[in-house]
């Protein structure tokens, strides 16, 4: 895969991440009656968006994801390798911390969160490859 395709993949994945973060923010702020993500007591987004994981340092946790995905998107648009890798590393660390809290403290799985975590792992992997790529200048 060439470098431009990798940037395109990162842009697409980060856009999907933005949509998922907006969905989680909407769920958290408005608590609608329709909750397709809450299947049972084990597979349940409600425990995440209204429980102890709902806020991190008094800020809604989905807001971190929203801002992170937006920064990643623009880093990919403008092909800024270092900010891309830095934000992807932060995002991956944050996602793994949230995953730990979901699984071991709340004992639930949030399908949206798992999707965000898989997206972030992929973005992080692609950003490593992008950062290792050497610029080729025509002579």
The tens digit of pLDDT for each residue in 43-100 reads 988 877 888 889 999 999 999 999 999 999 999 999 999 999 999 999 999 999 999 9
pLDDT of residue 137: 53
State residue 40's pLDDT score: 87
For residues 25 and 13, what is the distance between their CA atoms, to the nearest angstrom?
Answer: 18
pLDDT at position 68: 98
Q: Within 13 Å and on the Cβ side, how many CA atoms surround 89?
A: 8
pLDDT tens, position by position, 38-49: 888 899 888 778
Match domain 3-132 to its CATH number in 3.40.50.300, 1.10.3720.10, 1.20.1440.130, 1.20.1260.10: 1.20.1440.130
* 60 strand-pairing partners: 55
Q: For 7, phi and psi rounded to 5 degrees?
A: -60, -40
Considering the chain, what is the average pLDDT of its residues?
92
Residue 139: predicted pLDDT: 52
């Amino acid at each position: 895969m060439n470098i431009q395709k990798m940037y395109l993949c990162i842009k697409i994945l980060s856009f999907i991440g933005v949509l998922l973060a907006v969905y989680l923010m909407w769920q958290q702020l408005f608590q609608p009656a329709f909750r397709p993500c809450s299947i049972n007591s084990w597979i349940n987004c409600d425990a995440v968006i209204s429980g102890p994981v709902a806020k991190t340092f008094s800020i809604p946790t989905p807001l971190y994801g929203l801002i992170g995905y937006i920064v990643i998107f623009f880093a990919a648009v403008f092909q800024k390798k270092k900010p891309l890798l830095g934000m992807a590393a932060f995002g991956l660390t944050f996602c793994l911390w949230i995953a730990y809290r979901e699984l071991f403290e709340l004992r639930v799985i949030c399908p949206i969160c798992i999707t965000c975590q898989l997206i972030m792992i992929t973005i992080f992997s692609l950003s490593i490859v992008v950062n290792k790529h050497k610029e080729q200048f025509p002579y």
